[in-house]
Amino acid sequence: MDSPAGPDTTQMTPAGQGSPSADDTQPMRVINVTGKPRTTWKWLIALPAFVFLVWGGAAASGYVIGLDKRQAKQIQMVADASQEQFDLGVEDLLAGRFELARHRFEYVLSLAPDYPGAVELLGRALEALNQPTPTASPIASPTPTETPDYGSFEGMFQSAQAAFNRGDWSTALDILILLRGEDPNYRLAEVNQIMRSGLRNRGMDKLFQGRLEEGIYDLSLAERFGALDSQALSWRRSAEFFIFANSYYGLDWSKASEYLGQICVANIWGACSKYARAAREYGNELLDEEEYCLATFNYEQFFTHLNDDKFAPTATEVAIVCMTATAPSPTPTSTMTPGTITPEGTLTVTSTSSSTFTPSSSVSPTSSATTGGTPTATETPTATSSATRTPTATKTATETPTSTPSP
Amino acid sequence: MRSILEKGKLGNISCNTWVLRALALAFGLSTILAGVVFFHLVQDYTIGYTGVGLNPFQEVDQGFDTTPLPNMTPTAVRFLQTPQPWDGKARVTLLVLGIDYRDWEAGASAPRSDSMMLVTIDPITMQAGMISIPRDLWVEIPGFNDNRINTAYMFGEAYRLPGGGPELAVKTVEGLLGVPIQYFAVINFHTFERMIDELGGVDVEVKQRIMISAIGGHQRWLEPGIHHLDGPDTLAYARVRKGAGDDFGRSDRQQQVLLAVLERMVRLDTLPVLISRAPTLYQELSTGVRTNLSLEQMISLALLAVKVPGENIRRGVIGPPNMVGFYTRPDGAKVLGSVPDQIRQLRDLIFTETSAFGPSVSSSPSNGASP
C-alpha cells in the first residue's frame, strides 16, 4: 500500500505542477531527488563515526594498556634499583665501607620500606659505625599534621604559621613563597617576619649539620629582611672562615694547615681531622726541603688529632733527625706512639738528649660549640703556625659566640 | 533487446557497486590499520612518559665500565631526594651537564662532565640567571674528598651510587654554591646537535675570529659577526677552547648559545611547534638526555623561560682573575682553586638579590650585571 508520505520512490505528480503534458494522465515514475542525498548523508555520518570509533578505541585501549605497562615498568625499575643498591650495600658492608653501605640501605628502604633484609643490614652498618640501630621502620615517617589549607590566602598564611611554630622551616617558607606568588602584598609585614625567621633558623640548622655554604645562603637571604643577630653573624663568619681555610686543602698545605689549625680550636665541622691531614702533608713538604724540625712539629699536630700506625715510624725517624741536628751529641731513644695522644697535644717523643724539640709557644684557646639546638660557640683563636693548640670543645646551652677566627 | 539493455544496466550497476564495496573495504581496512598504528603510538608514549623524567633509575647505556676505581673509598654521601613537584611559584634551578665525548667514545671508564652550567629562574620576580662552573675547579666532592669538579659525575657513575653521576654532581655544586638544585639534565653531544637542528639552528654573535671544529667533521674559521650555526657547528663553537679565552671564554660562549636558543624560541615562535612535537622529541632525545624533569615540567619551564625579559637574565662565569687561583698539584695536575668569598658574591648577585625571599617583590629589570 502506497502512501504519498511513504518511503517509496514513486509519486503521483500533482496536477498542473510541471507535468510534461496536461493530457498525460498516466502515473509517472520520477526519481526522488531526496533519496540520494539521504544516502550520502548517512555515509557522511557513518564514515567519520567509524573512523572515530576505530581510532578512539585504539587510542583509549593504547592508553590503558600503556598505563598498565608503564606502572609495571616503574615498579620493575624501582625493584631493579633497590636490588642493585642492596647488592652493592652488601658488598660495601663486607668490604668494611660501612658509611656507604648505610646510605645504600637507607636508599633501598626509602624506595621499598619492607625490602627483605635491608633493615637488618642497615642495623649492622650502623652498629659498625657506633650509631643507634634502626627500629623496624628506619625511615622517619612524617608526623601527622593538619592538612594545609591552600584554598584561601588566610588559610595559606595560617598553614605557614603552623609549620613555622612546629619548627618545619622549609614547609613554612614553601607555603609563603606560594602565597607571595599569588598576592605579593598579603599581610606583608607578617609574611616578611616569618620568612626572615624561617630562613635564619633553617640556615643555622644547616650550619650545625655541616652544610655550610647552604646555611650561609639561607642566612644571606634572611639578611635581606634586616640585619642578622650576633649569634647568626658569628656562626656565619665561622663557616665562611672554614670554607676559606678548606679551599686550600689539597692545593696549598701550608695555608691549609695554618687556617684549619685556627678553626680547629673550635673543634667544629671536622676541622681538626682536616687540620691534622693538612699538617701531615705540609710536614711531608717540609721534609722534602729537609726542614726536619718544622716537619716534626707538623707531624706532632697530626698525631694530636689522628692516629696512623704506618706513619708513626717515619715521623719518629724525622723527629730523631731533628734532634740530631739540634743537639750536639744526642742519644735518642725516641718513639712516636700513635694512639696515645694527650689532650694537650704533647709530642710523645722522648729523648735523653739535653736538647729536645718543643713547640716555641703554647696557646690554650677556650672554645665551645654545640652541635644542635641552641647554637653557641666561643672561640679565641690566637694560634700561630708554631703553636700547640688545645681544642677542648664542650657543649653548652646558653653561650653566645663572641668572636670568630679571622685569617 | 530490452533484456540485453537491462542486463547491461545491471552489469554496470553491479560493477559500480563492487567498486564501491572495494573502496569501502579499503577505507575500512586502512582505518583499522591506522587505528593499530595509533594504538601502538599511544601505548608507546604512555609507557615512555613516566612523568618523573627520563630514566630516573636506570642509567643510560653508555657502554662504559662501571667498575669502581681503585684506591678510592667513598665515605658519607647524602643521596638523592626525589624532587618535589614544581608548584609553579618556587625558584627552579637546573644543573646542565655536558658529557665529555672522549671518555664517552673511549668507553673505558665512566665519563667526566665536560661542561657544567647552573640555570635558574624565579617565577615570582621573573629573574633568571646562569653560572658556568669550570671543570678543573678543585672542590670537595661529598664522599670522595677533594678533586676536580668534573670527576663528581664520574665517581657517581663508577660507584653506581643511588642517583648516579648526576646526583653526585648536583650535591657537589650545592656544596659549592649553597643553592638548592632541584633538577638536572645530562646531555651528550650528539643529542645537543640534534636539539639545535630541531630549532633550525641558532644565531650567535662571534666576538673574535675563532676556528671551530665539528666532531668528526670539518674545521672552519668564524669571522667576527653574526652567524647562523647548525647543530654540529653550534656544539663546536660552544666547545672550542684554544685561542678563544680557554675554559672561561668557552663557558661564556656556552651561555651565549643558551641565550641564542631562548631567542630563537621567542623570535620565531618556535616553541608552539616544539611543544606540539614534544612527545616525539622527548622520545627521540631520551636516548641522549638524562634528566629528572618530566615532559610537563620541561614545557612549563620553557614557557616560563621565554617570558623572562632579556635584561632580567644575569650571568656569570666562575673564573679569573678574582674567583679562582691557578695551582699545580704535586702530581703535576693543573687545577683551579676557588676563592669562596668571590664566588659567593657571584652567587648572591644571581640568586640572593633576585630571590622572592625579600622585603618586597619587584620584577623590574635588573641591571643585568654580568661579572
| Interface with B, mutate which of A100, A150, A194 (most B CBs under 10 A) | A100
Angle at alpha carbon of residue B242, lines to B193 and B147, rounded to 5°: 85
How confident is the model at residue A366, as a pLDDT? Answer: 31
How confident is the model at residue A344, as a pLDDT? Answer: 33
Q: What is the number of helices (H) and of strands (E) in chain B?
A: 11, 14
Nearest chain A alpha carbon to B49? A70
How confident is the model at residue A325, as a pLDDT? Answer: 75
How confident is the model at residue A221, as a pLDDT? Answer: 96
Residue B36 with chain A: CB contacts under 8 Å: 58
When CB atoms are compared, the residue of B31, B48, B88 closest to A51 is B31
Which residues on adjacent β-strands are paired with residue B290? B186
pLDDT over threshold 80, residue A264: yes
- DSSP SS3 for A131: coil
Nearest chain B alpha carbon to A281? B330
Cell (9 digits) for A199: 630562613
Selected residue with higher pLDDT from A36 and B326: B326
* A109: nearest Cα among A127, A73, A136: A136
How confident is the model at residue A334, as a pLDDT? Answer: 46
Task: List C-alpha distances in Å: B109 to A307, B77, B147, B157, B331.
Answer: 34, 21, 17, 9, 21
Nearest chain B alpha carbon to A244? B340
Q: Give residues 115 to 134 of B whose Cβ lies within 8 Å of A.
A: 123-124
When CB atoms are compared, the residue of A66, A199, A215 closest to B43 is A66
Q: What is the DSSP string of A217-271?
A: HHHHHHHTTSPPPHHHHHHHHHHHHHHHHHTTTTT-HHHHHHHHHHHHTTT-TTH
Residue A180 with chain B: CB contacts under 8 Å: 89, 124, 356, 361
pLDDT in tens, A188-228: 999 999 999 999 999 999 999 999 999 999 999 999 999 99
Determine which of A70-79, A353-362, B77-86 has the lowest per-residue pLDDT on average: A353-362
Secondary element (H or E) of residue B213:
strand B210-213
Q: Which residue has the cell 677556650?
A: A366
How confident is the model at residue B13, as a pLDDT? Answer: 60
Residue A153 with chain B: CB contacts under 8 Å: none
What band does A252 get if pLDDT is binned at 50, 70 and 90? very high
Q: pLDDT > 90: what percent of chain A?
A: 34
Does the beta carbon of B73 lie under 8 angstroms from any beta carbon of chain A?
Answer: yes
Q: Give residues 354 to 383 of A whose Cβ lies within 8 Å of B.
A: none
How confident is the model at residue B100, as a pLDDT? Answer: 63
Nearest chain B alpha carbon to A92? B73
Cis peptide before B321 (omega within 30 of 0): yes
How confident is the model at residue B2, as a pLDDT? Answer: 52
CB contact under 8 A, B41 and A62: yes
CB contact under 8 A, A58 and B138: no
Selected residue with higher pLDDT from A112 and A358: A112
Mean pLDDT across chain A: 74
Residue ranges for chain B with pLDDT beneath 70: 1-13, 48-85, 100-109, 242-245, 267-271, 278-280, 283-284, 361-371
* Alpha carbon distance B332, B179 (integer Å): 32
* B82: nearest Cα among B200, B219, B184, B199: B184
pLDDT over threshold 50, residue A401: no
How confident is the model at residue B344, as a pLDDT? Answer: 96
* Alpha carbon distance B208, A318 (integer Å): 56
Which residues on adjacent β-strands are paired with residue B326? B336
Does the beta carbon of B68 lie under 8 angstroms from any beta carbon of chain A?
Answer: no
pLDDT over threshold 60, residue A380: no
Spacing of C-alpha A350 from chain mean position: 47
pLDDT over threshold 50, residue A93: yes
How confident is the model at residue A407, as a pLDDT? Answer: 34
| Contact (Cβ atoms closer than 8 angstroms) between residue B101 and residue B331 | no
Count of other CB atoms within 10 angstroms of residue B357 = 26
Cell (9 digits) for A147: 592538612
* Alpha carbon distance A148, A142 (integer Å): 14
Helix axes A212-223, A230-246, angle to 10 degrees: 140
Does the beta carbon of A401 lie under 8 angstroms from any beta carbon of chain B?
Answer: no
CB contact under 8 A, B160 and A181: no
Q: Please, what sign has the CA dihedral across residues B269, B229, B190, B305?
A: negative
Which ipTM value was assigned to this complex? 0.78
Selected residue with higher pLDDT from A244 and A384: A244
Q: Give residues 238 to 297 of B whose Cβ lies within 8 Å of A.
A: none
Secondary element (H or E) of residue A292:
helix A292-305
* A178: nearest Cα among B180, B303, B356: B356
Residue B177 with chain A: CB contacts under 8 Å: 213, 217
* Alpha carbon distance A383, A391 (integer Å): 11
Which residues on adjacent β-strands are paired with residue B127? B122
From the CA of A5, how many Å to the nearest CA of chain B? 28
How confident is the model at residue A376, as a pLDDT? Answer: 36
DSSP state of B54: B
For B15, half-sphere exposure in the C-beta direction (CA atoms, 13 angstrom radius) is 6
CB contact under 8 A, A70 and B360: no
Does the beta carbon of B164 lie under 8 angstroms from any beta carbon of chain A?
Answer: no
Q: Give residues 12 to 51 of B whose Cβ lies within 8 Å of A.
A: 27-28, 31-32, 34-36, 38-50
Determine which of A202-216, A252-266, A297-311, B39-53 has the lowest per-residue pLDDT on average: B39-53
Phi-psi region of B95 (alpha: psi -120 to 50; beta: other; left: phi over 0): beta
pLDDT in tens, A108-131: 898 888 889 999 999 988 888 876
How confident is the model at residue A34, as a pLDDT? Answer: 53
Q: Where are the alpha helices (DSSP H) in B49-116?
A: 101-106
pLDDT over threshold 50, residue A346: no
Selected residue with higher pLDDT from A367 and B33: B33
pLDDT in tens, B89-135: 889 999 999 886 555 556 566 788 888 999 999 999 999 999 999 98
pLDDT over threshold 90, residue A391: no
pLDDT over threshold 90, residue A36: no
- DSSP SS3 for A104: helix
Angle at alpha carbon of residue A11, lines to A10 and A14, rounded to 5°: 160
How confident is the model at residue B125, as a pLDDT? Answer: 93
The most distant pair of C-alpha atoms in chain A lies apart, rounded to whole Å, by 158
Which residues on adjacent β-strands are paired with residue B291? B54, B185
Q: pLDDT > 70: what percent of chain A?
A: 66
